[in-house]
């Protein structure tokens, strides 16, 4: 089918068929980001290697994050099912490869390939809902996605730890086979009738290569900075410079390309919402990084106990996402939720900045609710500001830049904690202060933002 299809209204049963398939895709993508964390020591013992095993996590994250806009654009042009189906097959096969890995390099290669497939699971799932559900109704489903993502991300280390302790780390990947095949069957059934809204034409391979290359270099710079590379070092500067030059080359190439990867003016229309999402993710991942360490260092919690005490943070994040989705459905307005969410997060981060030892568990719950409100609503805003032929690429760009914000948040907060202060509490004050600055920046953006209205039509 060529050109943009006439939008139609889908029945509730048709929407459920779409949502059932893509929810399982989101579960797979979320679990595989965190499920391997507690199994890394067993992997090292089994594969007789310690070097670079942290990249079991990083390789997947880098590959899946950098490719999200590419999959979004492909699904705009060729249809959600034609992109998500092969990606699920690739995800299952690469999971099989990881389960049978015979060495650390083989496992790292498998995780990188698995991440390349996993990027489609995240982006295309979000875009598929936009095809079948009117903007005003999407809040309900995006809240489900945000809740699924939060719960799966939190449950990932628990599941991975249990499998590694009671069976083998290889079962972490074997589990993906039945789940992936089930998701494939559901997606074939649910997505096969979705329209192809984008216009067929030559795919912008040069633009895709530049975007993936520049994004990967910047993500590497942020991930390695302060850990494997000193922030003020030539290798770190080289990565940052190469990434920025890649973005500059992409901008020039997009202006000259007859079939650009990103439609003209798309990022200009979305820049406020995407910036808000990135700032929110900075604060979110900064909090996720700091609270367990704070509880262990100053309240003498064991790692398992610190994890349990983060449950309120995760649950209020789910509650915030669900509440925001329901309000969006009833009112069709988003700006008030942006202001409310960033205000709650700013207040809580201010408390932690002034006194990091004051009631960290209840304060973390308030942060969870505030940042949780923005997780579904920023996606709703981007999709509401985007024409149907651009939904996939717009969603992919939001997810990419949101992820960069999260990686940057965790890295800078980690650098603040390692700053060598005479008083250890000062490092946490600085870390929470950075999160406060991001939350206040999001609040300022929210106040200046025009109202975004979600209409009820198809």
Residue 333: beta bridge partners? 453
pLDDT digits (tens, 9 = 90+) for 278-299: 999 999 888 888 888 888 888 8
Q: Residue 155: how many CB atoms within 10 A of its CB?
A: 16
Residue 453: beta bridge partners? 333
Q: How confident is the model at residue 167 (pLDDT cuts 50, 70, 90)?
A: confident
pTM for the whole structure = 0.84
* pLDDT for position 181: 92
Q: How far apart are CA 433 and CA 307, in angstroms?
A: 23
Average pLDDT across the chain, whole number = 84
Contact 206/257 with Cβ under 8 angstroms?
yes
* pLDDT for position 442: 95
* pLDDT for position 186: 87
Q: If you average pLDDT over residues 358-384, what whole number do you get?
A: 91
Max Cα distance, the chain (Å): 66
Q: How far apart are CA 6 and CA 384, in angstroms?
A: 17
Q: If you average pLDDT over residues 355-363, what whole number do you get?
A: 91
* pLDDT for position 430: 92
Q: How far apart are the first and last CA of the chain?
A: 19
Q: If you average pLDDT over residues 322-348, what whole number do you get?
A: 92
Tell me the torsion sign for CA atoms 162, 293, 318, 111. Answer: negative
pLDDT at 384 over 80: yes
Q: How far apart are CA 278 and CA 322, in angstroms?
A: 20
Reading the block at residue 457, the tokens are 């039509």
Q: If you average pLDDT over residues 312-318, what whole number do you get?
A: 86
CA distances from 194 to 78, 375, 387 (A): 11, 25, 16
Q: How far apart are CA 288 and CA 197, in angstroms?
A: 38
**Nearest-10 crossing angle of helices 176-191, 12-34:** 150
For the ranges 64-78, 296-310, 432-446, the one whose mean pLDDT is highest: 432-446
CA 196 from centre of chain: 25
pLDDT digits (tens, 9 = 90+) for 205-246: 888 888 888 888 888 887 777 667 787 788 888 998 998 998
Lowest mean pLDDT among 55-59, 127-131, 409-413: 55-59
Strand, coil or helix: 201: coil
Counting other chains too, the contacts that 411-418 makes at CB distance below 8 Å and 24 or more residues apart are: 411/222, 411/223, 411/225, 411/226, 411/227, 412/282, 412/286, 413/285, 413/286, 413/289, 413/290, 414/226, 414/227, 414/289, 415/225, 415/226, 415/231, 417/290, 417/293, 418/226
pLDDT digits (tens, 9 = 90+) for 3-35: 444 556 777 777 888 888 788 888 888 888 778
Reading the block at residue 79, the tokens are 């249809």
Q: How far apart are CA 396 and CA 427, in angstroms?
A: 34
* pLDDT for position 53: 67
Contact 29/122 with Cβ under 8 angstroms?
yes
- Higher per-residue pLDDT: 251 or 12: 251
Reading the block at residue 31, the tokens are 């679990």
Q: How deeply is 268 buried, as exposed, middle or buried, from its count of CB atoms within 10 A (0-12, 13-18, 19+)?
A: exposed
- Higher per-residue pLDDT: 365 or 166: 365
* pLDDT for position 342: 96
> CA nearest 194: which of 86, 90, 75?
75
Burial 175-209 (b: 16+ CB within 10 A, else e): bbeebbeebbebbeebbeebbbbbeeeeebebbbe
Q: How confident is the model at residue 249 (pLDDT cuts 50, 70, 90)?
A: very high
* pLDDT for position 1: 39
CA dihedral in degrees (331, 332, 337, 339; nearest 10)?
A: -110
Q: For a pLDDT cut of 70, what percent of the chain falls above it?
A: 93
pLDDT digits (tens, 9 = 90+) for 400-449: 888 888 888 877 888 788 776 667 788 899 999 999 999 999 999 999 99
* pLDDT for position 52: 64
Q: What is the DSSP string of 234-267?
A: HHHHHHHHHHHHHHHHHHHHHHH-SS-SS-TTHH
Q: What is the DSSP string of 180-221?
A: HHHHHHHHHHHHTT----SPP----HHHHHHHHHHHHHHHHH
pLDDT at 362 over 50: yes
Q: If you average pLDDT over residues 314-343, what whole number do you get?
A: 90
Reading the block at residue 9, the tokens are 């209204």
Q: How far apart are CA 153 and CA 150, in angstroms?
A: 5
Q: How far apart are CA 284 and CA 374, in angstroms?
A: 10
pLDDT at 341 over 50: yes
- Higher per-residue pLDDT: 369 or 1: 369
pLDDT at 194 over 50: yes
**Nearest-10 crossing angle of helices 335-354, 266-298:** 30
């Amino acid at each position: 089918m060529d050109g943009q299809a006439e939008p139609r209204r889908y029945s509730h049963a048709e929407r459920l068929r779409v949502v059932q398939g893509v929810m399982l895709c989101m579960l797979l993508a979320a679990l595989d980001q965190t499920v391997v964390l507690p199994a890394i020591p067993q992997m090292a013992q089994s594969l007789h290697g310690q070097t670079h095993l942290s990249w079991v996590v990083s390789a997947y994250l880098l590959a899946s994050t950098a490719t999200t806009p590419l999959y979004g654009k492909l699904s705009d042009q060729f249809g959600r099912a034609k992109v998500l189906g092969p990606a699920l097959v690739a995800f299952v096969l690469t999971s099989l490869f990881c389960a049978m890995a015979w060495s650390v390099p083989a496992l790292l290669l498998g995780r990188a390939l698995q991440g390349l497939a996993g990027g489609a699971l995240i982006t295309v799932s979000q875009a598929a809902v936009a095809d079948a559900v009117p903007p005003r109704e999407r809040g309900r489903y995006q809240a489900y996605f945000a809740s699924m993502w939060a719960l799966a991300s939190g449950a990932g280390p628990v599941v991975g730890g249990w499998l590694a302790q009671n069976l083998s780390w290889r079962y972490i990947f074997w589990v993906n086979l039945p789940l992936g095949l089930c998701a494939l069957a559901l997606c074939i059934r649910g997505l096969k009738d979705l329209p192809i809204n984008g216009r067929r034409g030559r795919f912008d391979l040069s633009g895709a290569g530049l975007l993936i290359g520049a994004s990967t270099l910047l993500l590497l710079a942020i991930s390695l900075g302060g850990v494997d590379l000193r922030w003020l070092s030539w290798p770190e500067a080289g990565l940052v410079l190469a990434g920025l030059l890649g973005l500059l080359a992409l901008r020039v190439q997009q202006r000259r390309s007859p079939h650009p990867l990103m439609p003209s003016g798309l990022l200009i229309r979305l820049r406020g919402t995407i910036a808000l999402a990135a700032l929110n993710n900075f604060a979110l991942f900064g909090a996720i990084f700091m609270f367990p360490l704070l509880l262990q260092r100053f309240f003498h919690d064991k790692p398992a106990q610190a994890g349990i005490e983060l449950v309120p943070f995760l649950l209020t994040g789910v509650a915030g996402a669900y509440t925001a989705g329901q309000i969006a459905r009833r009112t069709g307005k988003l700006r008030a939720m942006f202001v409310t969410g960033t205000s709650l997060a700013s207040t809580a981060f201010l408390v932690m900045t002034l006194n990091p030892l004051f009631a960290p568990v209840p304060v973390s719950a308030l942060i969870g609710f505030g940042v949780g409100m923005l997780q579904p609503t920023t996606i709703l805003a981007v999709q509401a500001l985007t024409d149907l032929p651009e939904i996939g690429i717009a969603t992919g760009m939001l997810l990419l830049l949101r992820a960069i914000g999260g990686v940057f948040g965790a890295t800078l907060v980690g650098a603040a904690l390692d700053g060598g202060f005479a008083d250890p509490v000062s490092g946490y004050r600085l870390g929470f202060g950075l999160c406060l600055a991001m939350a206040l920046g999001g609040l300022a953006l929210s106040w200046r933002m025009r109202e975004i209205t979600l209409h009820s039509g198809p």
